[in-house]
Structures are given as C-alpha cells and as structure tokens.
Structure 1
Amino acid sequence: MENLLQVILLGIIEGVTEFLPISSTGHLLIAQHWLGRRSDLFTVAIQSGAILAVTLVYWRRLLDMALGFMRPENRDYLLKLFVALMITVVGGLGARLAGVELPESVYPVAAALIIGGFVIFAVESYVSKREPNTAISWGAAAWVGVAQVIAAVFPGTSRSAAALFAAMLAGTTSRPAAAEFAFLLAIPTMFAATAYQFLELYLEGGLATEHWGDLGVAFVVSTIVGFIAVKWLLRYIQSHSYVPFAWYRIALGLLLIAFV
C-alpha cells in the first residue's frame, strides 16, 4: 500500500510539473531522494504520460495540421517543429552517448532551479518592453531545440521552461504562442526518449526487472493530472506572466541547499 501511494505521488508530481516552468525531472529527483530511486525508464515513461495529456489538449490543432498539411502556414509550422526536434534528438543522443546521466545529488538541481528563476525574471523584463508577436521564426525553432538539449543535460532547468523562454527571447513574445510550440514539440521529443530508453533496457535485458505495475499506475496518474495542469496553465498565461514561477524556483532551490 505504501509503495502504491508513493507511485501515485510521483505521478501527481510529474503531471503537475511537466509543463509548468519549474522542472518535472528536478522535482522527481527531489521526491525520489526521500521516496527511493526509480529507474530511468520510470522517470522518462511517466513524463510521456504527461505528454499524452498535452496531445489530448491539442488534438484539434494536431488534426488540423495533419489534414491541412498542404496549407503553407501548417507546412511551415510543422517544418519548424521538425527542425527543433532534430536539434533536440541529435543533441540529446550526443549527451547520452557522452555518458550524461541524472545526478545522484539534489545540489545541481537546486542550482539549476535558482539560475532558471533569474532567467525568468530577465525574459519577462525583456518581453514586457515589446509588442506581442505570435510568429515562430526559423531562428526561434532552432533556439528552442538547443534549449531543450541544455535542459536535458542540466536537470532542474525545465524542458518546458527552456523551450518557452528560448522562443520568447527569439522573438515569439506571445506567451500562448510560445507555449503551443514548446508543448507540441514535447510530444515527439518525449515519446522518442521513452522509446529509446525502452530499447536500451531491452538490449541490456533489463525489462524483466522493471516494475511495470508501478510504471503503469504512475503513467495514468500523470496523464490525468497533466491534462488538468495544461488546461489551467494555458488559461493562466492569457493574462499573467511567469514571474511567480521564478520566485517559486528560487525559494525551492534555496530550501534544498539549506536543508537537504
């Protein structure tokens, strides 16, 4: 029973934090510091549960782009998503082959949380001086891909935050437009990461040792909670900035350094 409650709690943490700019990986690492370490497949797969949630949120947009691929605006948008995805995949695979792994200590996560908080302040200050722009440029698409690689290398950065604020700094000053691009890019990115982790575990013969029941429960929980969190965030950013998340990141980072 205790293990089930821990798994549900991890699913809730993932669902809430995946698309908020506060780092889901960082929060999962912090939670696992007390609840016990889970496999890398568990961590990546329950993130895919949250990605399934955003797929459900954006299903009309995805269907429109698929059926209307021949329309120039849809084709242009999909190609920019593809460019960002390729940069993310190549950079992420390179980091993986270089031996980059999730840290055992929470201190790197705390540092990334604090630094990311100050980055949010800077980005919001920059955007506040400019007119809203919903267009995604080729440069923005490229920088979003680079930002996702940085987030993968430094847990605590937040993949969604990195993509969001890279797009905003690159000229997409509309928060909803930047969020849509970042969230749609997360769909193939995280599903690909899960597939890679699954294949790696299969080749190593580790599938038999994975706790599939725990993974399944956490996946379902993160999907449900993620759906609620995304719907809330998309409403929130229509009229609010990301500044409260910056304060949260800094406070959490300082607490981790002080007490963990």
Structure 2
Amino acid sequence: MNYLQALILAIIEGLTEFLPVSSTGHMVIASSIMGIATDDFVKLFTIAIQLGAILAVVVIYWKKFINLNSFAFYVKLAIAVVPALLFGYLLNDFIDNKLGNPIFIAVILLVGGIVLLFIDKLFKNPTVNDESKITNATAFKIGLYQVLAVCFPGLSRSAATIIGGMQQKLTKNAAAEFSFFLAVPTMVAATGYKLLKGYELLNAENIKILLFGNVVAFIVAIIAIKSFISFLTKHGFRIFGWYRIAIGILILGLYFAGIEITIL
C-alpha cells in the first residue's frame, strides 16, 4: 500500500463510517479496484483507521465525553455495546467468511437500501429528542440492532443503530447522535482487537501510513458528521437508500465482470 491508496481509503472511511451506507461495501469496491484487497496490511488498515473517525466524534461532542457528571451516559454506552462485542467475538469466523463474500455484501446493501427508502414514513411521532431521555433498556435494544450490523457486513453499523433508535421513538437527530456515541466504544474494541492480532505487520513504514490514514479519516469524518446531521434533518434517508442500492448493483457488476472483490 502506498500513500495515495491510503489517502483514498481514509477518505472513504471518513465519509462513510457514520453514514447509513456501509463503509465495508465501499472498502470492498475501492480496495478491489486498486488491486490491494488481499494484502494483509490493507485488511488491518481498513479497520485501524477507524480510530481517526472515533476521534472526530469525541472532538465534536467533547463536552459529553469529558463531563464528570456523565456516569449515566457511559452506563448507557456500556449496556448498548455489550451485545455487539459478545456476538462479534462468538461469531468471528462467520463474520470473516461473510466479509469476503461479495454477493452477500451486495445483497445486504440492496436490502438495506430498500428499507431506507421507507424508513422516514415507517417510524412517525418520535417522543425522545435527547440522549438524556434514553433509558438503559432503550440503549440495550439499540445495541441489539448493532449486532445485526456486526454479524451482517454491508448492513452498516450506522444504519442499524439509527433505525434501532427511531424504532425506539428517538428523533432522527437523537438517533443519529446516539449512533455516533455508540461508535466510539464499538470501534475502539474492534480496532484494538485487530491491532493485537496484526501487530507483526506494524513496521516503521506501515505505522507512518497508518498514522497518515487516521489523520485523513479524522478530518473527513468531522466534515461528514456535521453535514450528515444537517442533511438528515432536511431530507431524511431516502437518498441514502437509493445510493445503497446503486452500490450493491455496482458490486454485483464488478463481481460478474470478473474483478476480484474481497478484503480478506
């Protein structure tokens, strides 16, 4: 992997990690087109640059994360993240297998896109407009939705948790923000696990590339998070649904055209 390839993947990560479009699906396309999909460091890189995206959430919502009176907030995040960590660990081999299956990912992208076409009309009359009003039980239920994204690559963690929040009567903004908050412990755990497993790949040059990727992902994620909240309020999810459908069709097209599509 060179710096240009790292730049492209980091921009994709920053743009898509917090949008309901599946960063996995986009990584599948980009890494395959660039011909670096099977490289072990690339596999590590696409997970580890999530740290940059995580930092973007912490910076934007820093008051929430450093508030000494936020114990209840941290409890909610802990409750919500446990299901994904448990199932992610128990089903690791299944997840890895599906992550390397382009047809599976494309189908999940398509199905998720169809759901997003109707999501704005499906959940009406929200009653929870602030994180402080989310109960521990609600946080746990949203965490169960995140399990679906962990177990089914291409579904999108962001899409699953936002839909879960809206199903629990959260407004679009409240659901999106809690999804961002929940991403922090989830992605820290996923990144830490990946780095521990692949530490032997971290030579001096690869560490430089990884640091570069995280800086780019951080900058792009800040822009994406702020833009997404504004866009979601005005336009809803429908355009993301059509976009996911297009990406799913593109992956199928690349696959049947004989282009190798795998990130494992």
TM-score of the aligned structures, taking structure 1 as reference length = 0.87
| Structure 2 residue identity aligned to 1:90 | L
TM-superposed deviation, 1:99? 4.8
Contact 1:136 1:167 in 2 (8 A): no
Give the direction of change, closer, same or farther, for the CA distance of 1:206–1:131 in structure 2 (3 Å limit): closer
| Paired position in structure 2 for 1:17 | 16
| 193-202 or 215-224: bigger deviation | 193-202
| Structure 2 residue identity aligned to 1:164 | I
| Distance in 2 separating the partners of 1:133 and 1:221 | 34
| Paired position in structure 1 for 2:232 | 237
| Structure 1 residue identity aligned to 2:176 | A
| Structure 2 residue identity aligned to 1:228 | I
Please give the secondary structure, in 1, of the residue aligned with 2:95.
Answer: coil
Give the direction of change, closer, same or farther, for the CA distance of 1:85–1:210 in structure 2 (3 Å limit): farther
Matches for 1:195-234 after TM superposition, within 5 Å: 195-202=192-199, 205-208=200-203, 211-234=206-229
| Structure 1 residue identity aligned to 2:89 | L
Measured against aligned partners, the alpha-carbon deviations of 1:16-38 in whole angstroms (never above 9, x if no partner) come to 00111001122112211112124
Q: Report the aligned-residue RMSD.
A: 2.1
| Distance in 2 separating the partners of 1:56 and 1:209 | 28
State the number of aligned residues.
247
Partner of residue 45 from structure 2, selected from 38, 42, 46: 42
| 217-226 or 207-216: bigger deviation | 207-216
| 228-237 or 250-259: bigger deviation | 250-259
Give the direction of change, closer, same or farther, for the CA distance of 1:208–1:5 in structure 2 (3 Å limit): closer
Measured against aligned partners, the alpha-carbon deviations of 1:190-211 in whole angstroms (never above 9, x if no partner) come to 1111111112224xx4444982
Please give the secondary structure, in 2, of the residue aligned with 1:239.
Answer: helix
| Distance in 2 separating the partners of 1:255 and 1:45 | 26
User: Are 2:26 and 1:31 equivalent residues in the alignment?
Assistant: no
| Distance in 2 separating the partners of 1:94 and 1:186 | 20
| Distance in 2 separating the partners of 1:41 and 1:259 | 23
TM-superposed deviation, 1:132? 4.5
Could you list the runs of 5+ residues in structure 1 that have no partner in the other structure? 70-74
Measured against aligned partners, the alpha-carbon deviations of 1:63-109 in whole angstroms (never above 9, x if no partner) come to 23xx123xxxxx4433221101112211211122x453163342222
User: Are 2:163 and 1:181 equivalent residues in the alignment?
Assistant: no
| Distance in 2 separating the partners of 1:140 and 1:114 | 28
Contact 1:116 1:249 in 2 (8 A): yes
| Paired position in structure 2 for 1:124 | 120
Please give the secondary structure, in 1, of the residue aligned with 2:18.
Answer: coil
Partner of residue 83 from structure 1, selected from 79, 82, 95: 79
TM-score of the aligned structures, taking structure 2 as reference length = 0.85
Partner of residue 157 from structure 2, selected from 159, 163, 173: 159
